[in-house]
Amino acid sequence: MNFMSVIESTLAQLVGRNACYYAIAAIGLNVQFGYAGLLNFGQAAFMAAGAYGLAQTLPVLGISLWWGIALGVGYSIVLGVLMGLPTLRLRADYLAIVTIAVAEIVRLVVRSQSATRVFGGSNGLQTFSRQFRQLGIDLGIAPGKTYGFWAFRFSGRDLWVLIVGWSLVVIFGVLVWLLMRSPWGRILKAIREDEDAVRSLGKNVYSYKMQALVLGGVIGTFGGMIIAIGADSVQPDNFSRDLTFYVLTGLVLGGIAKVTGSIVGPMLFWALYAFLDSFLRQLIGNKPVRIGNTTIISTVQVGPVVFMLMGALLVTLMVYRPQGLFGNRKEMAFDGR
Amino acid sequence: MNPPTEMPTAPRPVHPPRIAHRCLVTLLLAMLAATFASLLVSEPAGAQGTDSVIQVQVKEQRREGGRQVNEPVPDVSVTVFDADGNEIGTGVTDEKGIVAIPVPARADYTVVLDEDTLPDDSVLAAQTPAEQAVNGESFVTARRIVNYFTGESQRVAQSTFDRWSQRIADGVRLGLVIAMCSVGLSLIFGTTGLTNFAHGEMVTFGALVAWVLNKNGLHITFAALLALIAGGALGYSMDRFGFARLRARGVGLITQMVITIGLSIMAKNFFLFRFGGRDQPYFDYTNQVGRKYGPVVITPRDLIVMILSLIVLVAVAMTLQFTRLGKATRAVSDNVELASATGIDTTKVIRLIWVAAGVLAALGGVFRGLDEQVAWDMGTGLLFLMFAAITLGGLGSAYGALLGGFVVGLMVEMSTLFGVPSELKTVPALAVLVLILLVRPQGILGRAQRVG
pLDDT tens-digit readout, A98-143: 999 999 999 999 988 888 889 988 888 999 999 999 999 999 888 8
Alpha-carbon distance B272 to A254, whole Å?
28
Contact B124, B148 (CB under 8 A): yes
pLDDT for B89 equals 83
Residue B17 clears pLDDT 90, i.e. is over it: no
Could you give the ipTM of this predicted complex? 0.92
The beta-carbon neighbor of A318 closest among B6, B262, B424 is B262
- Chain A CB contacts of B253 under 8 Å are 93, 335-337
User: pLDDT category, B154, cuts 50, 70, 90?
Assistant: very low
Pairwise CB contact (< 8 Å): A312 & B92: no
Average pLDDT, chain B: 82
The alpha carbon torsion through B441, B264, B412, A86 (nearest 10 deg) reads 20
Instruction: Show Cβ contacts of residue B450 under 8 Å, excluding neighbours closer than 6 positions.
Output: none
pLDDT for A219 equals 97
Pairwise CB contact (< 8 Å): A322 & B438: no
Put simply, whether A333 touches B (Cβ < 8 Å) is yes
Pairwise CB contact (< 8 Å): A113 & B92: yes
Which residue from A minimizes the CA distance to B90? A122
Beta strands B98-103 and A294-297 are unpaired
Which residue from A minimizes the CA distance to B255? A318
For residue B246, which of B22, B11, B81 has the smallest C-alpha distance?
Answer: B22
Average pLDDT, chain A: 91
pLDDT for B298 equals 85
Pairwise CB contact (< 8 Å): A108 & B424: yes
pLDDT for B36 equals 47
pLDDT tens-digit readout, B75-103: 888 888 887 777 888 888 887 788 888 88
- Chain B CB contacts of A96 under 8 Å are 195, 257
Q: A42 — phi, psi (to 5°)?
A: -125, 30
pLDDT tens-digit readout, A1-14: 788 889 999 999 99
The three-state secondary structure class of B416 is helix
Mean pLDDT for B42-50 is: 39
pLDDT tens-digit readout, A76-94: 999 999 999 988 888 788 8
Pairwise CB contact (< 8 Å): A100 & B252: no
Residue B42 clears pLDDT 50, i.e. is over it: no
- Chain A CB contacts of B40 under 8 Å are 294
pLDDT for A214 equals 97
Contact A92, A37 (CB under 8 A): yes
Alpha-carbon distance B415 to B393, whole Å?
19
| Interface with B, mutate which of A269, A319, A337 (most B CBs under 10 A) | A319
Closest chain B C-alpha to A209 CA, distance in angstroms: 13
Alpha-carbon distance A161 to A53, whole Å?
17
pLDDT for B64 equals 56
pLDDT for B297 equals 82
pLDDT for A80 equals 95
Q: List all residues of chain A from 277 to 296 with a beta carbon under 8 Å from chain B.
A: 294-296
pLDDT tens-digit readout, B342-377: 999 999 999 999 999 999 999 999 999 998 889 999
Pairwise CB contact (< 8 Å): A109 & B427: yes
| Interface with B, mutate which of A81, A87, A294, A315 (most B CBs under 10 A) | A315
| Interface with A, mutate which of B269, B275, B439 (most A CBs under 10 A) | B269
User: pLDDT category, B57, cuts 50, 70, 90?
Assistant: confident
In the DSSP assignment, the letter for residue B152 is -
Q: List all residues of chain A from 128 to 187 with a beta carbon under 8 Å from chain B.
A: none
Alpha-carbon distance A44 to A234, whole Å?
13
For residue A29, which of A269, A277, A230, A298 has the smallest C-alpha distance?
Answer: A269
- Chain B CB contacts of A329 under 8 Å are 3-5
- Chain B CB contacts of A335 under 8 Å are 6-7, 252-255
| Interface with A, mutate which of B1, B2, B5, B415 (most A CBs under 10 A) | B5
| Interface with A, mutate which of B437, B439, B440, B442 (most A CBs under 10 A) | B437
Residue B206 clears pLDDT 90, i.e. is over it: yes
CA separation, residue B229 to residues A301, B182, B203, B209, B361 (Å): 29, 18, 13, 10, 11
pLDDT tens-digit readout, A262-320: 999 999 999 999 999 999 988 887 777 877 777 778 877 888 999 999 999 999 998 98
Mean pLDDT for A11-38 is: 94
User: pLDDT category, B409, cuts 50, 70, 90?
Assistant: very high
Pairwise CB contact (< 8 Å): B273 & A308: yes
Contact A239, A106 (CB under 8 A): yes
Alpha-carbon distance B76 to B158, whole Å?
18
One-letter amino acid at B213 equals: L
The beta-carbon neighbor of B437 closest among A98, A111, A337 is A98
Alpha-carbon distance A329 to B424, whole Å?
43
The alpha carbon torsion through A48, A52, A55, A57 (nearest 10 deg) reads -150
pLDDT for B357 equals 96
Contact B451, A86 (CB under 8 A): no
Helix H or strand E segment including B34: helix B17-34
Alpha-carbon distance A20 to A264, whole Å?
10
- Chain B CB contacts of A300 under 8 Å are 44, 46-47
The pTM score is 0.81
Alpha-carbon distance B174 to A161, whole Å?
46
**CB-defined contacts A:B, below 8 A:** 173
Which of A269-278, B7-16, B442-451 has the weakest average pLDDT?
A: B7-16
User: pLDDT category, B448, cuts 50, 70, 90?
Assistant: low
pLDDT tens-digit readout, B289-336: 778 887 888 888 889 999 999 999 999 999 999 999 899 998 888 888
Which residue from A minimizes the CA distance to B439? A86
pLDDT for A335 equals 52
Q: B102 — phi, psi (to 5°)?
A: -70, 140
